[in-house]
């Protein structure tokens, strides 16, 4: 474990112990979520895919709201990039994506039709890892570098365990993972010392902001988009949570349900 990573774990753990931030959010995770890598990995290393019990985090993306305020999605993407040291490579084909924009036809190809709404025709859709309940990426990973955190259902990564085989990328039906073909560090616009950087040959993806949850904060993208109601985040297993209230009220769809991965991200379109 390098010094930066040690410092990061220390900050996150201390803050969680000190109860900094909203208790409701802290309840959704723990310092162990950050130490994802250290603690859960022990479970995963013994060949288990940890079953989600209790809390299962999920997200609702209301595309109607993003379509009304197109700048909001750019701001949410920028917030994620900033807190997670996501590099911007000049060559777009090497792009590292945690949350990004894609056309409806790419996000929901199985629901494509000739006569679709103006929003589906024109608005870019927000896409990120679905933190699936039955994640094919986890099953494909030979080193358990990607695993489910049983306390909240987040599909996490241990960058240090990743050998860059990219089996997880092939297994993910959503293209939610990116590979560092080159050293990302020189391409980080604003360095955040509280989040680890990655290295060449490592896969990465959205982590549902586990490090922020442990500090009592909401995911960075949600913080940007929630006032407009464009993103709602919370415990899918709690019938009284805001996200469940939204899901009870609105008709939602998920990406490629036929893949059987059971996404935790829902869309209102």
Structure tokens at 42: 């022990």
Site for ligand SF4 (CB under 6 A): which residue of 152, 197, 241, 261? 261
Interacting residue with ligand SF4 among 145, 213, 215, 232 (CB under 6 A): 145
Report the 10 Å Cβ neighbour count for 251. 8
Q: Which of residues 4-63 bind ligand SF4 (CB under 6 A)?
A: none
Establish if 130 lies at the interface with ligand SF4 (CB under 6 A): yes
Binder among 12, 172, 213, 225 for ligand SF4 (CB under 6 A): 172
- Hey, is 59 helix, strand or coil? strand
Residues 6+ apart with CB under 8 A from 101: 73, 77, 124, 125, 126, 127
- Give CA–CA dist 41/49, Å, rounded: 10
Contacts (Cβ under 8 Å, ≥6 apart) of 181? 94, 200
Tell me the window of 8-16, 189-197, 201-209, 238-246 that interacts with ligand SF4 (CB under 6 A).
201-209
The residue count for the chain? 269
Beta bridge partners of 197: none
208 is an interface residue for ligand SF4 by CB under 6 A: yes
Residue closer to ligand SF4 by CB (options 104, 167) is 167
Nearest distance from C-beta of residue 232 to ligand SF4, angstroms: 12
Residue 141 touches ligand SF4, criterion: CB under 6 A: yes
Q: Is there binding between residue 201 and ligand SF4 (CB under 6 A)?
A: no
137 interacts with ligand SF4 by CB under 6 A? yes
In the complex, the smallest distance separating the C-beta of residue 3 from ligand SF4, rounded to whole angstroms, is: 23
One-character DSSP codes across 187-237 = G-SS--TTS----TT-EE---TTHHHHTTT---HHHHHHGGGTSEEEEETT
**Interacting residues toward ligand SF4 by CB under 6 A:** 80, 84, 98-99, 128-132, 135-137, 140-141, 143, 145-146, 155, 162-168, 172, 174, 176-177, 203, 205-209, 219-221, 261
């Amino acid at each position: 474990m390098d010094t930066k990573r040690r410092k990061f774990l220390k900050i996150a753990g201390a803050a969680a112990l000190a109860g900094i931030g909203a208790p409701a959010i802290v309840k959704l995770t723990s310092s162990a979520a950050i130490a994802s890598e250290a603690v859960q990995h022990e479970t995963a290393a013994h060949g288990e895919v940890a079953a989600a019990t209790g809390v299962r985090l999920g997200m609702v993306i209301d595309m109607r709201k993003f379509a009304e305020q197109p700048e909001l999605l750019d701001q949410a993407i920028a917030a994620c990039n900033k807190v997670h040291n996501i590099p911007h490579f000049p060559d777009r084909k090497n792009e590292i994506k945690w949350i990004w924009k894609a056309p409806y036809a790419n996000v929901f190809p199985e629901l494509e039709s000739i006569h679709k709404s103006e929003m589906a025709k024109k608005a870019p859709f927000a896409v990120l890892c679905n933190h699936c309940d039955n994640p094919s990426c986890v099953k494909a990973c030979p080193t358990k570098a990607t695993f489910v955190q049983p306390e909240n259902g987040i599909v996490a990564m241990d960058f240090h365990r990743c050998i860059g085989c990219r089996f997880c990328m092939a297994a993910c039906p959503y293209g939610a993972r990116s590979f560092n073909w080159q050293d990302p560090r020189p391409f980080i616009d604003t360095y955040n010392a509280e989040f680890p950087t990655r290295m060449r040959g490592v896969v990465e993806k959205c982590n549902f902001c586990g490090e922020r949850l442990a500090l009592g904060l909401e995911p960075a993208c949600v913080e940007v988009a929630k006032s407009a109601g464009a993103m709602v985040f919370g415990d899918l297993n709690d019938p009284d949570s805001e996200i469940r209230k939204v899901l009870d009220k609105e008709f939602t769809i998920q990406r490629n349900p036929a893949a059987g991965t059971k996404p935790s991200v829902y869309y209102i379109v």
